[in-house]
């Protein structure tokens, strides 16, 4: 069985080691957040409650969408820690299977990672989320 929503704005992302599904309903300007758990061959959506939803959205909304150079619309795919710093892994909305982009998230704002640290950040991501890496992520 395949489930489709009326909104084209559906985003699966991992935050604090929990997989989430974010639905954005354009008509009502409403956002819904679910915890997404894989069970056998199904993705089970659980509503986590209003307080949890508000807390997670407060943390990720300011950094969820990025406009990068070259017209790339980047979307948050995962957050993880590298050397006690919160890192966001982003993917290109038009080419989601392309190489990821990494930014440090500090005080609710993304910032560039220095070139000399970028490869180590990519390796940390590959170690934390091997199921999402088909080849060595690069810059």
Distance CA 74, CA 76 (A): 7
With b for 16 or more beta-carbon neighbours within 10 A and e for fewer, the 79-108 pattern comes to bbebeeebbbbbbbeeeeeeebbbbbbeee
In this predicted structure, what is the pLDDT of residue 43?
Answer: 83
Q: Kindly report, residue by residue over 93-116, the tens digit of the pLDDT.
A: 999 888 999 999 998 899 999 999
CA-based nearest residue to 127, from 83, 75, 93: 83
**Residue 130, both tokens:** 């091997």
Q: Give Cα 126 to chain centroid, integer Å.
A: 15
**Residue 54, both tokens:** 């508000």
Per 3-state DSSP, what percentage of the chain is helix, strand, and coil (rounded to 5)?
Answer: 25, 45, 30
**Is a pLDDT exceeding 70 seen at residue 13?**
yes
DSSP 8-state code for residue 138: -
Domain ranges in the chain are 10-59, 63-129
Measured CA to CA in angstroms, residue 32 lies from 5, 28, 91 at distances of 12, 11, 21
In this predicted structure, what is the pLDDT of residue 4?
Answer: 65
pTM: 0.85
Distance CA 103, CA 89 (A): 7
């Amino acid at each position: 069985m395949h489930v489709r929503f009326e909104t084209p704005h559906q985003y699966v992302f991992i935050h604090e080691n929990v997989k989430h599904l974010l639905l954005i309903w354009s008509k009502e300007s409403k956002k819904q957040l679910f915890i997404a758990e894989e069970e056998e061959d199904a993705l089970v959506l659980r509503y986590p409650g209003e307080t949890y939803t508000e807390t997670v959205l407060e943390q990720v909304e300011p950094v969820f969408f990025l406009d990068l150079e070259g017209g790339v619309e980047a979307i948050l795919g995962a957050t993880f820690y590298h050397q006690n710093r919160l890192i966001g892994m982003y993917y290109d909305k038009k080419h989601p299977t392309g190489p990821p982009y990494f930014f440090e998230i500090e005080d609710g704002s993304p910032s560039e990672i220095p070139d000399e640290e970028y490869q180590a950040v990519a390796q940390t991501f590959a170690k934390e989320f091997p199921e999402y890496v088909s080849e060595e992520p690069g810059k």
